[in-house]
Amino acid sequence: MKPVVKKLLGSSFVGALASPLSVDDYLSLIDSRLSLSEPRGRVTHVVRQTSDSVTLEIEPNDNWQGHRPGQHVLLGVDLDGVRHSRCFSVVSAPNEPMIEVTIKRNGDGRVSNFLVDHAERGQLVHLSPAEGDFYPHAEAPRKALLLSAGSGITPVMSVLRHWIARDEVADVVFVHYARTRDDMIYAAELEAMAQRHDGLRVETVFTADGGRRLDDATLDVLVPDLAQRPTWLCGPAGFMDAAEPLIAARSNETLHREQFAATRREAAHGEGAVRFLNSDVAASGESGSLLEVAEGAGLKPNYGCRMGICHACKCRVAEGSVRDLRTNRVRDVRDTDIQLCIHAAAGDVAVEL
């Protein structure tokens, strides 16, 4: 949509004419992707690489501002009249016109499981701006280690695709852990990349087929010159917790990590009273995180991952005492934005919600 058209449609005059609906409601009748400000996309291609995953190619509208390698996005779908959003890595390189995400089945994960089972061409999805600092640099290093496990391969693949698109693969070792080859997403693409690029060495370890889990001896064999390589690491929490000290003991180079796992370390139990100032509602802070307290009081704050990754639930605390559920640290805050899902009341709290 041309900027001049957006400016016209976004005027208060047109908004008044559209009332009680919004301008976006009318635009959606023409094309569901159309919106004055909201990033949206349409699924153009669906591939199920494994029995428990789906890869979606998404054509975004012109509100999408692009992404950096390894960033993630909140992807939303409407289920039974309610929008549900979850974080997924953008696997495509930044210069590609389409957005690619790969989603694996995730226990009781409603969004993940719905998309794995029911994603189809033409489906509308809602997008957030891309976030994350997994790859903060403009250029590739001379040497690098990419280390991943399970679905942690997705942001790492984005970094590798970025380097390949820019012809910057000089000396890259990519080590990936999976249960079996049938469980591994992007297996065929990685093999093809390694055949085409002399500067890329791919090592795959299949733990259910006798592959040795990551330890000192395995890492020394797979990456003997680790001391010279900055590392990009992503995978399940247990894998990353095991890998990080092994890498730190062998290298002083930078370790970049991306982790899509709950960051809460403490039980979500609060104390005191929580006042939601904009709604004129008060509730006990004992029933969980501030997000859960708000929902229990009948409010509907924005949220996405519910684990401290996406920042969708960020809200301003006017004043009060809060406990960080990741570290158990208690602090007094005033006029401060916090993530509701990873903080609980540690006394009386006033939230601008």
The torsion region of residue 107 among left (phi > 0), alpha (psi -120 to 50) and beta comes to left
Nearest to 205 by CA among 153, 252, 256, 154: 153
The torsion region of residue 20 among left (phi > 0), alpha (psi -120 to 50) and beta comes to alpha
CA-only gyration radius of the chain, Å: 22
Q: What pLDDT is attached to residue 267?
A: 65
Inter-CA distances, 58 with 99, 158, 165, 349, Å? 5, 15, 19, 41
Tell me how long the chain is. Answer: 353
Q: What pLDDT is attached to residue 133?
A: 86
CA distance 78 to 96: 26
DSSP state of 342: G
Angle (CA) 325 134 136, round 5°: 125
| CATH 1.10.600.10 corresponds to the domain 38-132 | no
Q: What pLDDT is attached to residue 317?
A: 95
Q: Domain 144-258: which topology? A: Rossmann fold (3.40.50)
CA distance 141 to 349: 46
Q: 70 with 155: CB under 8 angstroms?
A: yes
Strands (E), the chain: 40-47, 53-60, 72-79, 82-89, 99-104, 124-127, 144-149, 172-178, 200-206, 231-234, 255-258, 273-276, 281-284, 314-324, 330-339, 343-351
Q: What pLDDT is attached to residue 10?
A: 85
Assigned superfamily of 273-351: Beta-grasp domain (3.10.20.30)
Residue with tokens 């957030």: 128
- DSSP β-bridge partners for residue 344: 323
Q: Output the pTM of the full model.
A: 0.78
Q: What pLDDT is attached to residue 37?
A: 87
Grouped pLDDT means (10 residues each) for the chain, 353 residues: 83 84 84 88 96 96 94 89 85 94 86 94 93 81 95 95 94 96 94 96 92 90 95 92 94 86 61 93 91 92 77 91 89 94 93 96
Angle (CA) 249 209 51, round 5°: 105
- DSSP β-bridge partners for residue 206: 178
Q: What pLDDT is attached to residue 331?
A: 92
Alpha carbon 217 to its chain centroid, in Å, reads 32
Q: What pLDDT is attached to residue 8?
A: 86
Q: What pLDDT is attached to residue 41?
A: 96
Q: 163 with 211: CB under 8 angstroms?
A: no
Q: 176 with 204: CB under 8 angstroms?
A: yes
Nearest to 151 by CA among 107, 114, 200: 107
Q: What DSSP letter does each residue of 153-220 carry, written as one string?
A: HHHHHHHHHHHHHTT--SSEEEEEEES-GGG-TTHHHHHHHHHH-TTEEEEEEEGGGTPPPS-HHHHH
Domain ranges of the chain: 1-36, 38-132, 144-258, 273-351
Q: What pLDDT is attached to residue 351?
A: 96
Q: 134 with 147: CB under 8 angstroms?
A: no
Which amino acid is located at 90 in the chain? V
